[in-house]
């Protein structure tokens, strides 16, 4: 065991410092080392595995005082009062991108600055091994010098300015999948949903919560919504969309239209390109989705969502 501080070389002291703080954190403090010097330190670290607590303490104290006196002394007014304030301006996605490649101690220091809910969100996005390391590090941050924390804050602040400025982005899910299906030909959409119900019933149920099809409109829309929808779509598109539908559906639509539109309505006769029918039905579905966005209804309610007596 190394127990005599006075017999240590400068390289050994730096190696002990790196062992105590971890390489990533130490490099934040001693940031003027070249690759050759870093390789020498790594090699020296293998020879200082067994060091007494008192020697480690003396090394840390020596480094701390030299660090303050020579490298990071600033005017009082220049010292940021809240060096991690910039974290408050970042989204969850940006925070994850900021710390994902950092050492566990740096991640721990960063998470320690966040509110509980946001901290938990970021922590849960880490893999299990890194999460364990970060949790242990959070419980052992008292030995990190204040100047090291400030230096890490400055480094991360600079790094954060290079992150994408988007507020958020989608990670998929039932809603996005439902929107993608809505762009597919009806036959392909139906086949996909049949397969999805077999392979992933949970996801299929999520998709159904956001999925409006031309056929489902006549199953779930009450007459008042159906009337508003058909009034919002060009009459020629309504006529084309109804091509090939059961006569009872056509009669229902015609019956809810205003008298003037009833008189103007002309069913599409003869054979027409299937593409024209599909496009007309997409027009109706798009109008229904726009009504939902405008707050005319909630699809979940129409599908029989949970209620409270």
* CATH code, domain with 143: 1.10.220.30
Tell me the average pLDDT of the chain.
80
Residue with the bigger pLDDT between 168 and 243: it is 243
User: What pLDDT score does 230 carry?
Assistant: 94
Cβ proximity of 205 and 177 under 8 Å: no
For residue 65, the model assigns a pLDDT of 56
Average pLDDT over residues 147-152: 79
Mean pLDDT value across residues 31-42: 80
> 18 and 66: one domain?
yes
Give yes or no: residues 51 and 95 share one domain.
Answer: no
293 shares a domain with 225: yes
* pLDDT tens-digit series, residues 58-103: 777 777 555 544 444 444 444 445 788 888 888 888 888 888 888 8
Q: Which domain holds residue 12?
A: 5-73
Residue 80 lies in a domain: no
Q: How confident is the model at residue 34 (pLDDT cuts 50, 70, 90)?
A: confident
The C-alpha atoms of residue 212 and residue 300 are separated, in whole angstroms, by 11
The more confident residue out of 3 and 72 is 3
Reply yes or no on whether the pLDDT at 31 is more than 70.
no
Q: What is residue 52's predicted lDDT score, i.e. its pLDDT?
A: 84
- What is the number of domains present in the chain? 3
Give yes or no: residues 228 and 295 share one domain: yes
d(CA 52, CA 71): 28
What percent of the chain has a predicted confidence (pLDDT) above 70? 86
Residue 9: inside a domain, yes or no? yes
Whether residue 226 contacts residue 217, with contact meaning beta carbons closer than 8 Å, is answered with yes
Say what the pLDDT of residue 276 is: 93
Could you tell me the pTM of the whole model?
0.42
- 132-154 in b/e form (b: 16+ CB < 10 A) is ebbeebbeeeeebbebbbbbbbe
Average pLDDT over residues 240-259: 92
Cα distance between residue 277 and residue 248, in whole Å: 18
User: Which of 141, 160, 179 represents a domain boundary (last residue)?
Assistant: 160
Domain boundary among 100, 129, 160: 160
Residues 97, 54: one domain? no
pLDDT at 134 over 90: no
- Asked whether the CA dihedral 91, 97, 98, 103 is positive or negative, the reply is positive
Q: How many CB atoms lie within 10 A of CB 87?
A: 22
**pLDDT score of 13 more than 90:** no
Is 46's pLDDT higher than 60? Answer: yes
């Amino acid at each position: 065991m190394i127990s005599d501080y006075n017999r240590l070389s400068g390289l050994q002291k730096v190696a002990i410092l790196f062992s105590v703080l971890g390489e990533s954190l130490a490099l934040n403090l001693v940031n003027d080392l070249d690759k050759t010097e870093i390789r020498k330190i790594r090699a020296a670290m293998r020879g200082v595995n067994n060091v007494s607590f008192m020697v480690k303490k003396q090394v840390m104290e020596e480094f701390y005082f030299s660090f303050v006196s020579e490298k990071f002394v600033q005017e009082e007014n220049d010292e940021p009062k809240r060096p991690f304030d910039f974290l408050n301006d970042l989204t969850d996605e940006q925070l994850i991108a900021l710390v994902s490649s950092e050492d566990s101690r740096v991640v721990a220091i960063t998470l320690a600055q966040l509110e509980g809910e946001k901290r938990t969100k970021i922590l849960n996005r880490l893999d299990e091994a890194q999460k364990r390391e970060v949790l242990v590090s959070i419980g052992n941050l008292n030995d990190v010098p204040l100047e090291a924390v400030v230096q890490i804050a400055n480094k991360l602040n600079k790094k954060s300015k290079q992150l994408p400025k988007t507020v958020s982005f989608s990670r998929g899910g039932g809603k996005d999948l439902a929107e993608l299906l809505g762009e597919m030909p009806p036959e392909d959409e139906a086949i996909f949903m049949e397969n999805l119900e077999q392979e992933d019933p949970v996801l299929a149920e999520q998709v159904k919560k956001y999925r409006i099809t031309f056929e489902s409109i006549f199953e779930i829309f009450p007459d008042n919504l159906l009337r508003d929808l058909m009034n919002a779509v060009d009459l020629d598109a309504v006529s084309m969309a109804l091509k090939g539908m059961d006569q009872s559906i056509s009669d229902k639509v015609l019956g809810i239209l205003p008298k003037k539109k009833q008189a103007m309505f002309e069913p599409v006769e003869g054979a027409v390109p299937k593409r024209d029918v599909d496009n007309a039905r997409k027009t109706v579905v798009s109008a229904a989705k726009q009504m939902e966005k405008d707050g005319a209804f909630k699809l979940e309610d129409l599908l029989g969502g949970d209620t409270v007596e």
